[in-house]
Structure 1
């Protein structure tokens, strides 16, 4: 057996043996073990060769290490591939920019692969270190799916709280609320983009699970699948609320514009004949009446006032407002 097989490689983040309970950390002799969980940093060199030495076929290795993926489930002859997405809790990152976790269940061992830290995996690692973690690989998989679902639900609660704030007409200007609503809409679209295929992946896993797991485990998985389904329905409802609130804000802006345009039209209508008369009497040519009369200006101003009052009363009687 080579030193490569005995020593922990740089790309291996963690490894645990679930042959007994509580699980024990594995620090050597990785290729000769069964019922183990191995967690890898997938973008470091040497991982592909290590997996091949562990007996994993090359097409399967390429599937779990490919760069761009979406949640899915693929059944293999000796196991399955499950690709999930979890909330991104990295510092300075957007939570809805979900991180990928690839799981390979192959010949009794579970392999997981990440590029960026996955908070749900870290939670399970702390449980194992405290010797309070899952009893076997099947339980481990359930706990991991449950943690990922809980993280999505927590993010959804934050989005719902933000939605309630935007629905309050007393919070901020219409323009600011529209900008915040657009950002919220983008966040929901990112979440829905991954949660919908994740639900399909869990559906397919539940359908094929009798090949590897017992009926009780499958029922627990169905419960997690139902939780994911509920979250997806909540996201779709939130998207509908976004559209309704967007239409409400747009209608509010349109009503304000119409109201302002209406009053400007009213003012213009009142001053139109007055403007005509002032323009007419403002021409500087001979023959203008009242040029030699000192009372002409005051008489003309009084006439304009009477015209304005008459127009005001007429428009009011016609119920223009």
Structure 2
């Protein structure tokens, strides 16, 4: 075997041997390892050939290297394929644009594939380097699911805080709050789009896990499944809150418009007969009464005032306000 075959490939990010405790990094003879974890950058050429050399069938390789995927679980003859989504913590991206992590458990080895960095994996790598990480591949799986679930929960807590701020009537104008609600609604829809199938994938993994792992591991996985289920329920509740607050803001805006329209109608109603009389007496033709009387203007103004007062009292008696 040549030195090139023994060296770590460019597409391999990390590799650890879990057949001993604590787990040890792997630097060579990658195809000969058992009970090991390999982490790959899936968009670098040469990975498919390396996986074929490891004995992984081509249909499975196509599945783990597929470009656009949703969370899912597929049972295989010698293991399983689990695709999860984690919070995107890159500075230039939105957290709800969740990153994909493909996990292949095949013939006793664990393979994970990423395109963009996954914070949960980085935390486990750091713990392994400090010899404080998971003690076995099943333990690694639990740590991974737990960290990804925690990151989703932290993002959800941030969204809840934003929601509470928007519920405060003193925070910005109605249009600003409606715009913020639209953005929040879009973010929640992106999250639920991936968390819902992720819950289904974890359900299926828990149902079939006895084929590869012990009962204690299955129970821990069920706990993580329940946490994901709770987060999904919280997201659905937040979506309902967004709709309720949006309806409240729209109703409040409609009431303001109706109230303003009502008062404009009242003012127009009071001044309508007065405007008619002023228009009538403003015409410039012969025969207009009071043209030669110096007191006619004051008499006419008093008459307009009396008419306005009578209208006001009449509308109030009729309970127009």
Task: Normalising by structure 2, report the TM-score.
Answer: 0.99
CA deviation string 1:230-259 (max 9, x = no partner): 000000000011111010000000000000
CA deviation string 1:65-118 (max 9, x = no partner): 000000000000000000000000001211011000000000000000000000
Q: Is the CA contact (8 Å cut-off) linking 1:18 and 1:137 kept in structure 2?
A: yes
Distance 2:43 2:274 in 1: 79
Distance 2:3 2:115 in 1: 26
Distance change in 2, residues 1:2/1:62 (3 Å) = farther
Q: Describe how 1:117-196 pairs up with structure 2 within 5 A.
A: 117-196=117-196
Look up the match of 2:246: 246
Shift of 1:45: 0.5
Shift of 1:3: 3.7
Look up the match of 2:83: 83
Look up the match of 1:46: 46
Look up the match of 2:98: 98
Look up the match of 1:305: 305
1-10 or 281-290, which moves further after superposition? 1-10
Look up the match of 1:202: 202
SS in 2 for 1:105: strand
Gaps of 5+ in 1: none
SS in 2 for 1:15: strand
CA deviation string 1:212-234 (max 9, x = no partner): 00000000000000000000000
Distance 1:128 1:186 in 2: 37
Shift of 1:60: 0.3
Distance 1:194 1:245 in 2: 24
Look up the match of 1:226: 226
Shift of 1:2: 4.0
Return structure 1 stretches of 4+ with deviation > 2 angstroms. Answer: 1-5
Task: Normalising by structure 1, report the TM-score.
Answer: 0.99
Q: Describe how 1:205-284 pairs up with structure 2 within 5 A.
A: 205-284=205-284
Distance 1:267 1:307 in 2: 14
Q: Would you say how many aligned residue pairs link Structure 1 and Structure 2?
A: 321
Look up the match of 1:288: 288
Gaps of 5+ in 2: none
Distance 1:23 1:41 in 2: 21
CA RMSD of aligned residues (A): 0.7
